[in-house]
Amino acid sequence: MKQLTDKEIEKKALEIRRLIIRMVHAATCGHPGGSLGLADIFAVLYFDILRHRPGQPDWPDRDVFVLSNGHVSPVRYAAMKLAGYFRDLDVMSFRKLGSPFQGHPSTRYLPELENSSGSLGQGLSAAVGLALGQRLQKRKGRVFCGISDGECGEGMTWEAATAAVAYRAPVIAYMDHNGIQIDGKTRDVCDLGDLASKFAAFGWKVSTIDGHDVGGLRRAFSSARDYEDGPQMIVCNTVLGKGVSFMEDDYNWHGKAPNQEQTELALAELA
């Protein structure tokens, strides 16, 4: 894949955001907030960091990307579509009956995905296991995993955090740290405290970065590749709804579709 400049990747993030808005509007339901907040991270992953072949999704040497917070499926579908996956499929069928693009992603309909998700808290465990498997099989690919701050309320996340250190699993995880979950600020719903310090206390290598700084994201993920001796967590500070002024940092946009007027406004802002 051709090496893109930061500006070109930022342009991809904008395209991803526009597609998210169009998909969720067409479906009249879905999760635009977290998806928009993750667009820069997904643009960096799919257009720079991940070693993958959209035309050969089962390439044995590929990097594996496990997405744990499945409700942000719009950003995953949009990024993968723009990267060249799903050539014969219409992502605008998102959430329609019979569409492979279900609200919560399923490998049953889309074998290009590495995991099904929607039930929160499971992805990190899957990723830790897969990272250990990659090492055992001496595979070239690395295992990446996306989790969210809200799902750190799930106990299984911390079982995975413990096991990852005990077995020195070479997993590269990032956290969508936007301070928001389904119906409010995480600190109001169930205060999770300082998540970066918690992962560090479990023994993870932790860094905290701006989840919208494309250059910083590229540097953080590519230097994470150089370390294979244990689990890493890149805490990405993000803004829910990033790029659409009336959605930003408002938990009401966690899981609600914009109406026609809001869609036009959003697309105008993302021009």
Ligand X SMILES: Cc1ncc(C[n+]2csc(CCOP(=O)(O)OP(=O)(O)O)c2C)c(N)n1
Exactly one of 173, 175, 239, 240 binds ligand X (CB under 6 A); that residue is 240
Report residue 76: phi and psi, to 5°: -70, -50
Among the listed ranges 67-75, 91-99, 205-213, 258-266, the one in contact with ligand X (CB under 6 A) is 67-75
Rounded CA gap, 74 and 61, in Å?
26
Q: Which residues contact 182 (CB under 8 A, 6 or more apart)?
A: 150, 189, 251, 254, 255
Q: Is 69 in the site for ligand X (CB under 6 A)?
A: yes
Rounded CA gap, 172 and 214, in Å?
18
Q: Is 201 in the site for ligand X (CB under 6 A)?
A: no
Q: Nearest distance from residue 72's CB to ligand X, in Å?
A: 6
Of residues 31-50, which lie at the interface with ligand X (CB under 6 A)?
Answer: 33-34
Q: Is 182 in the site for ligand X (CB under 6 A)?
A: yes
Exactly one of 116, 125, 178, 232 binds ligand X (CB under 6 A); that residue is 178
Q: Pattern of binders to ligand X over 93-132, x per CB under 6 A?
A: -------------------------xxxx-----------
Exactly one of 150, 231, 241, 258 binds ligand X (CB under 6 A); that residue is 150
Pure H helices in 48-170: 73-83, 123-136, 155-166
Exactly one of 151, 172, 256, 263 binds ligand X (CB under 6 A); that residue is 151
Q: Is 1 in the site for ligand X (CB under 6 A)?
A: no
Q: Nearest distance from residue 136's CB to ligand X, in Å?
A: 29
Rounded CA gap, 131 and 143, in Å?
5
Q: Nearest distance from residue 246's CB to ligand X, in Å?
A: 16
Read off the amino acid at residue 144.
F
Q: Nearest distance from residue 31's CB to ligand X, in Å?
A: 6
State which residue, 235 or 240, has the beta carbon closest to ligand X.
240
C-beta of residue 233 within 8 angstroms of C-beta of residue 175:
yes
Question: How far is C-alpha 187 from the chain's CA centre?
Answer: 22
Q: What is the dihedral of CA 171, 6, 83, 271, to 10 degrees?
A: 130
Report residue 25: phi and psi, to 5°: -65, -45
> Measured over all CA atoms, what is the biggest interatomic distance in the chain, rounded to whole angstroms?
53
C-beta of residue 147 within 8 angstroms of C-beta of residue 173:
yes
Rounded CA gap, 27 and 166, in Å?
43
Among the listed ranges 3-11, 125-133, 176-184, 202-210, the one in contact with ligand X (CB under 6 A) is 176-184
Q: Is 71 in the site for ligand X (CB under 6 A)?
A: yes
State which residue, 105 or 150, has the beta carbon closest to ligand X.
150
Q: Which residues bind ligand X (CB under 6 A)?
A: 33-34, 69, 71-72, 118-121, 148-151, 176, 178, 180-182, 240, 254
